[in-house]
Amino acid sequence: MSDNGFEPQITAFMCIYCGYMAADTAGALRIPYPANVKLVKLPCTGKTDPRYILQAFEEGADGVYVVACPVGNCHHVRGNERGYARVQRTKKLLDAIGLGGERLEMFFMSGGQGQAFADAAKEMTERIRSLGPSPIKERVNELTG
Amino acid sequence: MIIGEQKPLEEIKELIGDARKVLVAGCGTCVAVCSAGGEREAQILASALRLAFQVDGNSREVTEATVQRQCEWEYIDPLAEQVAESDVVVSLACGIGVQTLVERFPEAWIVPGLNTTFLGMPQEQGIWVERCQACGQCILGVTAGICPIARCSKQLLNGPCGGSHDGKCEVNPDIECAWHLIYERLRKLGKLELMLRFQPAKDWSVSRDGGPRRIVREDLRVLPET
């Protein structure tokens, strides 16, 4: 638990190649990363869809990020670049919604970079912790008491 | 096909106003192909609206439904029940689809979620370009299949103006000079004599200047019951 008592719920979409392998490497190397990050596998980050991201927020995520292969090293050649373009568009949509585009981010890393995976999880957890809970969740809590 | 672009979320929220039950209606034809108003975009908009209203502290019921084509009666009839249950329908079809819904469901409040932009084609993935203005009197047969009405900024009929420079239009260097394209294509095809054919002033009465247009085909009409 953080000092302010807020432990953010974070959804991380990752490709089954570098992204998921990096998570696996972090585990194999016993590198700790925040447990509040829930992983969702994509066949490639080229499958990143604003619908998935918005659904994660609708279901209570405080933050979302996407983990892809390094640019130039995508298993599907340029899927990660397509995913990046969609993340950028969805950030603008989140700004228009009022949630704030900074609750969404994208990271690029190779399968061997377990430390980079853990760093991304920590960076997002810290960022979302400082932003506070998603306004969606706050509203739901107000209604349900 | 008809190309459209989604309105900003803020404008759509204003159009929705205080309505509690919102139906986002997608169209699976032209606007789906230009990624502005198809099933995917309807789902994204419905989700975005639910989130935005929650952030505002004013949750609404936002659902979505997409039909294959919003500009024909038989395709929109299945929406009747959902339209009747909604306080407002945000149509993601072109302006034609919006008005077809309005005419079919006169009791419903229908608002546009798109700006219908032009008649065109996808030049490449993610880029759409204008190709036709539905002027009512096609001259592509004498202009090498390149339309100076839709693609010349001045809609000139007899060659380029002085603002054509290195094949680009003076209005914007991103616009190709239509008459330069026509000349080059006629030259390559050995039909440059067509450049010399004088085009008289265009009859704009068959375009928008003649008011709203209508076509009647008696051979296709359903005969009235006797």
Enumerate the domain spans of chain A. Answer: 10-144
The reported pLDDT for the residue numbered B129 is 97
CB contact under 8 A, A93 and B44: yes
Per-residue pLDDT for A145 more than 70?
A: no
The reported pLDDT for the residue numbered A134 is 95
| Interval B13-22 mean pLDDT | 98
| Interval B187-197 mean pLDDT | 95
Per-residue pLDDT for A103 more than 90?
A: yes
Residue B120: half-sphere exposure toward Cβ, Cα within 13 Å: 18
Boundaries of domain holding B111: 2-118
Residue of B nearest to A140 (CA): B54
**Chains A & B: contacts with CB separation below 8 Å:** 45
| Interval B143-166 mean pLDDT | 97
The reported pLDDT for the residue numbered A142 is 66
B37 in a domain, yes or no?
A: yes
**The complex's ipTM?**
0.92
Contacts of B160 (CB under 8 A, 6+ apart): B152, B177, B179, B180, B183
Per-residue pLDDT for A143 more than 70?
A: no
Residue of B nearest to A85 (CA): B126
B81 and B171 share one domain: no
Residue of A nearest to B6 (CA): A93
CB contact under 8 A, A51 and B59: no
Per-residue pLDDT for A140 more than 70?
A: no
B179 and B94 share one domain: no
CB contact under 8 A, B51 and A57: yes
B109 and B173 share one domain: no
| Domain A10-144 classification at class level | alpha beta
- Which tokens sit at B215? 């076509």
Burial pattern A70-105, b for ≥16 Cβ within 10 A else e, equals eeeebbeeebbbbbbebbeebbebbebbbbebebbb
Residues of A in contact with B127 (CB under 8 A): none
Three-state SS letters, B95-125: HHHHHHHHHHCCCCCEEECEEEEEEEEEEEC
The reported pLDDT for the residue numbered B224 is 83
Per-residue pLDDT for A1 more than 50?
A: no
Residues from A contacting B (CB-CB < 8 Å) are: 49-51, 54-55, 57-58, 93, 96-99, 135-136, 139-140, 142
CB contact under 8 A, B51 and A96: no
B73 and B141 share one domain: no
Instruction: Indicate the average pLDDT of chain B.
Output: 96
The stretches of A2-134 forming alpha helices (DSSP H) are 18-28, 50-58, 79-97, 114-131
CB contact under 8 A, B44 and A51: yes
B145 and B60 share one domain: no
Contacts of B175 (CB under 8 A, 6+ apart): B153, B168, B169
Return the residue matching tokens 């928008």.
Answer: B208
The reported pLDDT for the residue numbered A2 is 47
Query: Which residues, in sequence order, are bridge partners of residue A105?
Result: A65
CB contact under 8 A, A98 and B8: no
Contacts of A130 (CB under 8 A, 6+ apart): none
Residues of A in contact with B10 (CB under 8 A): 96
How far is A26 from A120, CA to CA, in rounded Å? 11
Q: H or E stretch including A5? A: none
Per-residue pLDDT for A4 more than 70?
A: no
Give A114's pLDDT tier (boundaries 50, 70, 90).
Answer: very high
Determine the distance in angstroms separating the CA of B110 from the nearest CA of chain A, rounded to an integer: 22
pLDDT digits (tens, 9 = 90+) for A70-81: 999 999 999 999
**B107 class by beta-carbon count within 10 Å (0-12 exposed, 13-18 middle, 19+ buried):** exposed
Nearest CB to A51 within list B10, B40, B50? B40
| Interval A43-68 mean pLDDT | 97
B219 in a domain, yes or no?
A: no
Give A51's pLDDT tier (boundaries 50, 70, 90).
Answer: very high
The reported pLDDT for the residue numbered B199 is 93
pLDDT digits (tens, 9 = 90+) for B74-127: 999 999 999 999 999 999 999 999 999 999 999 999 999 999 999 999 999 999
B156 in a domain, yes or no?
A: yes
Determine the distance in angstroms separating the CA of A89 from the nearest CA of chain B, rounded to an integer: 12
CB contact under 8 A, A139 and B51: no
Give the DSSP letter of residue A74: B
Chain A contact for B40, CB < 8 A?
Answer: yes
CB contact under 8 A, A51 and B10: no
The tally of domains found in chain B comes to 2
Give A136's pLDDT tier (boundaries 50, 70, 90).
Answer: confident
B93 and B143 share one domain: no
B111 and B13 share one domain: yes
B123 in a domain, yes or no?
A: no
Residues of A in contact with B50 (CB under 8 A): 58
Determine the distance in angstroms separating the CA of A61 from the nearest CA of chain B, rounded to an integer: 12
Residue of A nearest to B40 (CA): A51
| Interval A4-24 mean pLDDT | 93
B218 in a domain, yes or no?
A: no
